[in-house]
Amino acid sequence: MSAPVSERSRTQAAATGVATDSTPPTPTGGGFLGHPRGLSTLFFTEMWERFSYYGLRPLLVLFMSAALADGGFGFERAQASSIVGIYAACVYLASLPGGWVADRLLGLRKAILYGAGLISLGHLSIGLSAFAAGKLPFFLGLILIVLGTGLLKPNISAIVGELYPEGGARRDAGFSIFYMGINVGAFFGQLITGILGESVGWHWGFGAAGVGMLAGLITFAVRARPTLGDIGTQPTRHPDPAVQARQERTVKVGIGAGLAVLAAVVVAAATGAVTLDAQSIAGAMTGTIVALAVVYFAYIFAAGGLNGDEKKRVAVIAVLFVFAAIFWAAFEQAPTSLNLFARDFTDRQLGGFEIPATWFQSVNSFFIIVLAPVFAALWVRMAKRNQELSSPGKFAWGLALAAIGFALMIPAANAIVASGGSLKVSPWWLVASYFFQTAGELCLSPVGLSSMTKLSPPRFVGQMMGIWFMATSVGNLIAGLVGGEVDPEKLEQTPALFTATTGALVASAVVLALLAIPIRRMMARTTT
Residue 434 has pLDDT above 50, yes or no: yes
* pLDDT at residue 20, as a whole number: 40
Q: Quick check: helix, strand or coil at residue 467?
A: helix
Output 123 or 456, whichever has higher pLDDT.
Answer: 123
Q: Are 355 and 333 in contact (CB under 8 A)?
A: no
Q: Quick check: helix, strand or coil at residue 35?
A: strand
Residue 8 has pLDDT above 70, yes or no: no
CB neighbour burial string for 95-121, b if at least 16 within 10 angstroms, e if fewer: bbbbbbbbbbbbbbbbbbbbbbbbbbb
In words, the CATH class of domain 34-236 is: mainly alpha
Q: Quote the CA–CA distance of 140 and 119 in Å, as a whole number.
A: 11
Q: Are 61 and 476 in contact (CB under 8 A)?
A: no
* pLDDT at residue 9, as a whole number: 45
- State the angle between helix axes of 37-65 and 168-199 in degrees (0 to 180), rounded to the nearest 10: 30
Average pLDDT, the chain: 89
pLDDT single digits (tens) 98-128: 988 988 889 899 999 999 999 999 999 998 8
Q: Quote the CA–CA distance of 275 and 47 in Å, as a whole number.
A: 37
* pLDDT at residue 211, as a whole number: 95
- Split at pLDDT 50, 70, 90, the class of 526 is low
This prediction has a pTM of 0.89
Percentage with pLDDT > 70 across the chain: 92
- Sign, CA dihedral 90-331-497-84, equals negative
For residue 5, what are the contacts with CB-CB under 8 A and spacing of at least 6?
368, 372, 441, 442, 445, 446
pLDDT single digits (tens) 398-431: 999 999 999 999 999 999 999 999 999 999 999 9
pLDDT single digits (tens) 262-304: 999 999 998 889 889 999 999 999 999 999 999 999 999 998 8
Output 171 or 28, whichever has higher pLDDT.
Answer: 171
Amino acid identity of 184?
A: V
For residue 423, what are the contacts with CB-CB under 8 A and spacing of at least 6?
345, 415, 416
pLDDT single digits (tens) 20-49: 444 444 444 457 878 899 999 999 999 999
- Split at pLDDT 50, 70, 90, the class of 525 is low
* pLDDT at residue 458, as a whole number: 79
* pLDDT at residue 527, as a whole number: 54
- From 338, 380, 393, select the one nearest 362 (Cα to Cα): 338
Residue 134 has pLDDT above 90, yes or no: no
Q: Are 54 and 207 in contact (CB under 8 A)?
A: no
- Split at pLDDT 50, 70, 90, the class of 19 is very low
Residue 305 has pLDDT above 90, yes or no: no
Residue 15 has pLDDT above 60, yes or no: no
Residue 452 has pLDDT above 70, yes or no: yes
Residue 202 has pLDDT above 90, yes or no: yes
* pLDDT at residue 114, as a whole number: 96
| Helical H segments across 332-408, by residue range | 339-345, 362-384, 391-407
* pLDDT at residue 22, as a whole number: 41
